[in-house]
């Protein structure tokens, strides 16, 4: 039977032992050699034998716990959503995704719910600083309307968290249970002592009664709303950022003044309304919602 060798098709010496019918098959060496073009014969060389070079040294067990060394990796949860370099911005898409995620929250237990709310605040900050939305009247109107809806939704979610804290405290009082909690010293000079594990020497476990846990939980939640914690985008900080931007837009005569005057009329222009401008009044409603939060 012909086989593929280094120089084309070759035939074995004697195949009659294994294949009795082989002796009746005529072999044409000229034909078998012509089945493969000369270019293939020249390009195909001997296949080198596989040499085992695998090391049998044991794997360093520390490698299992080492994080991947990838300097180009950025965690999506810790980074702000980006904007495309060309074409329309992605503000409306980001706003829709943020609202959808807020709507999908079903468990408002503190503090597990906080990582679900923070990305929405980051999205709001990204939309406030968008450089493409102010370039057209359409996108500018959509931007402020979408931001007002998003910030109102975030405020409502924080109200839900507060209600959850009150409900959990009431349950603890009724059942006479203690709330297990863990605290730690996070001062700068001691941060190097933290291990990030449950047996971290800088952590301290407490069993808090209902009222102590309630006060502590609300104090921590307040930093997410008012500020004073490590969250760079607390709710009122984002609201204040948007108010400053709107006042800046009102004073910018290049912000489609003629087009907006035709749509709203000269008497209804935000620049002439001060704090009574429609956009700022929408934001004042968010501040009223925050003022109604019970931190006691």
The mean-pLDDT minimum among 54-63, 118-127, 131-140, 252-261 falls in 54-63
Give the pLDDT of residue 202. Answer: 86
**Residue 152's pLDDT band (boundaries 50, 70, 90)?**
very high
Give the tens place of pLDDT for each residue, 205-220. Answer: 999 999 999 999 999 9
Q: Are 268 and 241 in contact (CB under 8 A)?
A: no
| Predicted pLDDT at 249 | 86
pLDDT digits (tens, 9 = 90+) for 85-99: 667 899 999 999 999
What average pLDDT does the segment 229-245 reach?
Answer: 95
Predicted local distance difference test score (pLDDT) of residue 88:
82
pLDDT of res. 19: 52
Bridge partners of 205, per DSSP, are 182
238, 290 in Cβ contact below 8 A? no
**DSSP string of the chain?**
-EEEETTEEEE-S--TTT-GGGGGS---HHHHHHTS-HHHHHH--PPPPP------PPPPTHHHHSPP--TT---GGGSPPP--SSSS-SHHHHHHHHHHHHHT-----TTTTHHHHHHHHHHHHHHHT-SSGGGSHHHHHHHHHHHHHHHHHHHHHHHHHHHHHHHHHHHHHHHT--EEEEEE---GGGGGG--SSTT-TTEEEEEE-HHHHHHHHHHHHHHHHT--SS-SS-HHHHHHHHHHHHHHHHH-TTTTHHHHHHHH-GGG-GGGTGGGSHHHHHHHHHHHHHHT----
- The structure tokens 């408002």 sit at 108
pLDDT of residue 52: 43
Token couple for 292: 């109604």
Structure tokens at 52: 């085992």
Of 2-16, 161-175, 229-243, 251-265, least confident by mean pLDDT is 2-16
Going by pLDDT thresholds of 50, 70 and 90, the confidence category of residue 105 is: very high
CA atoms within 13 A on the CB side of 74: 7
Q: Calculate the alpha carbon distances from 19 to 9, 14, 26, 260 in Å.
A: 19, 9, 14, 93
pLDDT tens, 7-34?
444 544 555 555 555 455 555 554 444 4
CA dihedral 268, 273, 276, 279 (to 10 degrees): 60
Backbone angles phi, psi at 124, to 5 degrees: -60, -45
pLDDT band at 72 (very low <50, low <70, confident <90, very high): very low
pLDDT digits (tens, 9 = 90+) for 275-294: 677 888 999 999 999 999 99
- pTM reported for the whole predicted model: 0.68
Q: CB atoms < 10 A from the CB of 83, how many?
A: 18
Predicted local distance difference test score (pLDDT) of residue 251:
82
pLDDT of the residue at 27: 52
Average of per-residue pLDDT values in the chain: 78
Q: Above 90 in pLDDT, residue 127?
A: yes
- The residues spanned by each domain of the chain are 89-175+210-291
Tokens coding 200 = 């971290």
Q: Is the predicted pLDDT of residue 78 greater than 50, yes or no?
A: no
């Amino acid at each position: 039977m012909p086989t593929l060798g280094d120089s084309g098709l070759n035939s074995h010496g004697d195949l009659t032992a294994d294949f009795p019918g082989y002796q009746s098959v005529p072999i044409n060496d000229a034909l078998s050699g012509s089945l493969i073009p000369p270019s293939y014969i020249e390009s195909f060389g001997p296949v080198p034998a596989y040499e085992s070079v695998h090391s049998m040294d044991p794997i360093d067990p520390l490698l299992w716990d080492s994080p991947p060394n990838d300097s180009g990796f950025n965690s999506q949860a810790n980074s702000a959503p980006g904007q495309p370099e060309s074409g329309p911005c992605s503000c409306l898409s980001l706003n829709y995704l943020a609202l959808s995620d807020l709507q999908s929250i079903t468990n408002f237990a503190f503090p597990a719910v906080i990582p679900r709310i923070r990305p929405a605040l980051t999205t709001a900050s990204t939309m406030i600083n968008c450089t493409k939305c102010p370039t057209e009247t359409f996108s500018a109107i959509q931007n402020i309307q979408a931001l007002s809806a998003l910030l109102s939704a975030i405020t409502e979610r924080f109200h839900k968290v507060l209600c959850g804290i009150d409900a959990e405290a009431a349950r603890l009082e009724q059942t006479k249970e203690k709330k297990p909690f863990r605290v730690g010293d996070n001062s700068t000079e001691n941060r190097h002592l933290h291990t990030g594990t449950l047996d971290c020497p800088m952590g301290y476990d407490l069993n808090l009664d209902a009222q102590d846990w309630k006060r502590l939980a609300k104090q921590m939640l307040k930093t997410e709303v008012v500020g004073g914690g490590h969250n760079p985008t607390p709710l009122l900080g984002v609201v204040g950022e948007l108010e400053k931007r709107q006042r800046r837009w009102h004073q910018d005569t290049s912000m489609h003044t003629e087009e907006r005057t035709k749509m709203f009329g000269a008497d209804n222009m935000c620049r002439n309304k001060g704090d009574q401008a429609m956009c700022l009044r929408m934001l004042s409603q968010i501040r009223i919602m925050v003022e109604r939060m019970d931190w006691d």
